[in-house]
Amino acid sequence: MSIEVKDLSFRYGKIVALDGVTMRLGEGAVGLLGPNGAGKSTLLRILLGFLVPERGEGRVLDYDIRREQAMIRRSVGYMPESDCFVAGMDAVTFTSYFGELSGMPRQEAMKRAHEVLFYVGLGESRYRLLDTYSAGMKQRLKLAQALVHDPKILFLDEPTSNLDPTGRAEVLELIRDISAHKSIQVLLSSHILDDIEELCETVVILNKGKLAAEGRMADLRAINYSLYELRLKGDGEAFRKDLESAGCRVDEMEDGLVKVYMPGAADPMDIFRAAGRTGAQLRYFIKSRTSLEDLFAGVVGVD
Amino acid sequence: MATVREKGYTHWDGKLGERRFPWWPITRTGILLAFRKKRFKFIFAGAFIPSIVFLVGLYISERLEDFKAIIQGSDRLLNIDPKYFATYLTGDWLFFLIVLVLAYGAGGLIADDLKHNSLQLYFSRPLGKKDYLIGKMSVIAFFVLILTALPGLLLVVFKLVFAGSFKFFLQYPWLPLSVLGFSALLTVFFAFYVLLLSALSKNSRYVFVLTFGTYIFSTVLYGILNGIFRTPYMALFSIPANLRQAGAFIFGQKLPFAFPAVWSFAVLAGICVLAAAVLNRKIRSVEVIK
């Protein structure tokens, strides 16, 4: 296991940020999901060794998060969410600078900076001042500085934020290549569910500081619940209450589509029985493949 | 799907090492970035004018016969003793030039990092807060020492060279130590002073104004308070006055203000402690992820 935490808890004053989170993450790309205030950033801070957990323990690449923070930071590449650069530098100097700070010899860092800048598509503009870079270029530059010391794990915080569709596709393509072919594990924190669905095989969902769901996307879809989409004619309110009393979650979309999240053990025939009891007519019924958005809504309880 | 890769990714086959001085790349880069500013090069070069003037004075003092026609009463005018060196190192013009060089070349050391959110990049590396601050302070140390210790020691050497004997050195063997000691004091003080102000703003222009403003305001305040209370202790409010008082003590000269030099040392140390506390609060790794 490359990341393993057990009973991890942290609070900012009276506010509980993480509450007894236990998880084990293996190889490949892992998506870190959760609404604002769920504890994603706090978890990343603790994994990078910036915060000392109030309770619990954890290891990143077998390094203790309390005692071996320098080793963790040497092995991890971090791409922050916000724009960040050093004023007055060009891309090569910037990238090699952070390679050196990671512990690379100066000449090696410079050589490696050229390589990763070509890899992320900034080869032609590597001698341009960073102050003149566009948002998309800065995003790729952040990825380059995270890769320069050849980390074993990449922590990516909202890697596609502020990007246009083309830029987003390019960055996602790079991340896919890194996680799939370069044996670098990726921990991707994002609020863009499509990004995580596109890149990650495993997902961790945090809600209110607690672990809401964790596992392979396919398993989570299968185990937790079944999703049915239907259209109704008749007393929709009575139908909804009937199903909710049976432990289902019912969401009505703006276009009139009704989504029913049924617990794993429930019988889909209950939907028809509920319709019969409440006098509602079912005009459309389909078992839907759960998207990550549905999974997120089902687990966290938000649309 | 668009492909942006111009070359494939290859793993690096080297080994990441543990640096003896992990802050050194920060120092080297800080110095190089300062010299990338065109105006800074002129300011920095201009800051050597006092040392050149004093070097010329030193030369003339050893060649009085040649310059007799130009300089009248030269025996008293160019008497080379520790006071001559103290005059160079504690002169208001040198302090002013140091503040100018640091405000322009080092004002953005922390301010720019705060502005561009780069602290999170530093601290995601195997660097501690101590390494970061030492790296930044060393940039200031470089500029201050090159304007104080280097010319100061060179003046001693040139005095011996021009005199052609070690008589001066044997007469004042402690002088190089005084030069080094006072240069070290200036280095430590200005390192804390400039970094303190640099950490208070995200705009390096404001830091430039703050660095100059605080320095000049302290002297203006001294003038006003001295006018009201008529006591030399009011000089404790002035940064250059405290530096001069400390410098006179280190060079064994008559103190310019009628109070013990220890008070000036205490004021300078107090500013450093205040700066350390502010820096400790402002430079925090927990703020690296927003």
Q: What is the pLDDT of residues A239-295, one digit of tens each?
A: 989 988 888 888 888 778 888 888 767 788 889 999 999 988 998 998 886 666 666
Model pLDDT, residue B247: 96
Tell which A residues from 60 to 89 touch B, by Cβ distance under 8 Å: 70-71, 73-74, 76, 78, 80-89
| Closest approach of A82 to chain B, Cα-based (Å) | 7
- C-beta atoms of B5 and A177 within 8 A: yes
Size of interface A-B (CB pairs under 8 A): 138
Q: Establish if A300 touches chain B: CB-CB under 8 angstroms.
A: no
Model pLDDT, residue A300: 64
How many domains are contained in chain B? Answer: 1
Contacts of B120 in chain A (CB under 8 A): 78, 80, 82, 84
Q: 3-state SS string over chain B?
A: CCCCCCCCCCCCCCCCCCCCCCCHHHHHHHHHHHHCCHHHHHHHHHCCHHHHHHHHHHHHHHCHHHHCCCCCCHHHHCCCCHHHHHHHHCCHHHHHHHHHHHHHHCCHHHHHHHHCCCHHHHHCCCCCHHHHHHHHHHHHHHHHHHHCHHHHHHHHHHHHHHHCCCHHHHHCCCHHHHHHHHHHHHHHHHHHHHHHHHCCCCCHHHHHHHHHHHHHHHHHHHHHHHHHHCCHHHHHHCHHHHHHHHHHHHCCCCCCCCCCHHHHHHHHHHHHHHHHHHHHHHCCHHHCCC
Percentage of residues of chain A with pLDDT beyond 70: 93
Model pLDDT, residue A40: 86
Domain membership of residue B16 (yes or no) is no
Residue B288 has pLDDT above 50, yes or no: no
Range of the domain at B283: 24-287
Average pLDDT over residues A194-206: 86
Residue B150 has pLDDT above 90, yes or no: yes
The residue among A189 and B286 whose pLDDT is bigger is A189
Lowest-confidence range among A12-26, A104-118, B243-257? A12-26
Report pLDDT digits (tens) over A76-94: 999 988 888 998 899 999 9
Considering only alpha carbons, which residue of chain A is nearest residue B285? A50
Domain membership of residue B162 (yes or no) is yes
Report pLDDT digits (tens) over B58-111: 888 887 767 666 666 555 556 788 999 999 999 999 999 999 999 999 999 999
Tell which B residues from 106 to 125 touch A, by Cβ distance under 8 Å: 108, 112-113, 115-118, 120-125
Contacts of A78 in chain B (CB under 8 A): 120-121, 124
Model pLDDT, residue B148: 96
| Closest approach of A269 to chain B, Cα-based (Å) | 42
- C-beta atoms of B125 and A173 within 8 A: no
Q: Are A47 and A60 in contact (CB under 8 A)?
A: yes
Lowest-confidence range among B135-139, B195-199, B279-283? B279-283
Domain membership of residue B14 (yes or no) is no
Q: Establish if A164 touches chain B: CB-CB under 8 angstroms.
A: no
- C-beta atoms of A51 and B286 within 8 A: yes
Domain membership of residue B5 (yes or no) is no
Model pLDDT, residue B286: 55
- C-beta atoms of B115 and A147 within 8 A: no
| Closest approach of B22 to chain A, Cα-based (Å) | 7
Report pLDDT digits (tens) over A81-132: 888 899 889 999 999 999 999 999 999 999 999 999 999 999 999 999 999 9
Domain membership of residue B227 (yes or no) is yes
Residue A191 has pLDDT above 80, yes or no: no
Domain membership of residue B10 (yes or no) is no
Domain membership of residue B13 (yes or no) is no
ipTM of the complex: 0.86
Domains along chain A with CATH numbers:
3-208 (3.40.50.300), 220-300 (3.30.70.100)
- C-beta atoms of A84 and B120 within 8 A: yes
Model pLDDT, residue B182: 97
Domain membership of residue B95 (yes or no) is yes
Q: Establish if A284 touches chain B: CB-CB under 8 angstroms.
A: no
Considering only alpha carbons, which residue of chain B is nearest residue A130? B116
